[in-house]
Copies of this chain bind each other. A is one copy, B any other.
C-alpha cells in the first residue's frame, strides 16, 4: 500500500475508513452538503443523492483493501479493492477535492459490468 500523508489525504482516508467499516453516518461527516460526484452512472449532486448512492453499496460490502492512496493540499487519489456479496473483487478509484475538511468533488470509477452480470444471473 502506497500512502503519503497530506491534508486532503487525511480526510479522504478518514472517509474511506468510515464507509468501509459500514459507518455511513460517520462517512457522511466528511462529505460536503453540495458535493458533486461524477460516478459511472452519471453525476450525483448533493449529500442526499450521494448517500442514496453509497447506502446500497455499503450494505452489500463484505470486505475492502486499500491498494494505494496519495494526496496534496486539496486533492486525494485513492484506489482500493472491495469484496461484495454479488461481486468478489470490485476495485474502485476515487479522486476527491477537499475544502474545509469535506469532500466537495469526487470522480469515482468502478466497473459496472460484473454487477450488471450478477443482476442478470439473479433474475
Tell me how far the C-beta of A64 lies from the nearest C-beta in chain B, rounded to whole angstroms.
Answer: 14
A110 within 8 A of B: yes
Copies of this chain present in the complex amount to: 2
Inter-chain contact A112/B109, CB cutoff 8 Å: no
Q: Which residue in chain B gives the minimum CB-CB distance to A78?
A: B77
Complex contacts, A74 vs chain B, CB 8 Å? 2
CB pair A107 B40 closer than 8 Å = no
Bound Cα distance from A41 to B109, whole angstroms: 15
A contact set with B: CB distance below 8 Å? 2, 4, 38, 40, 67-72, 74-75, 77, 79, 91-93, 95, 107, 109-113, 116
Task: Please list 15 pairs of residues, one from A and one from B, whose beta carbons are closer than 8 Å in the complex, sorted by A's number.
Answer: A2-B71, A2-B75, A2-B77, A4-B70, A40-B111, A67-B95, A67-B107, A70-B72, A70-B77, A93-B93, A109-B110, A112-B112, A112-B113, A113-B113, A113-B116
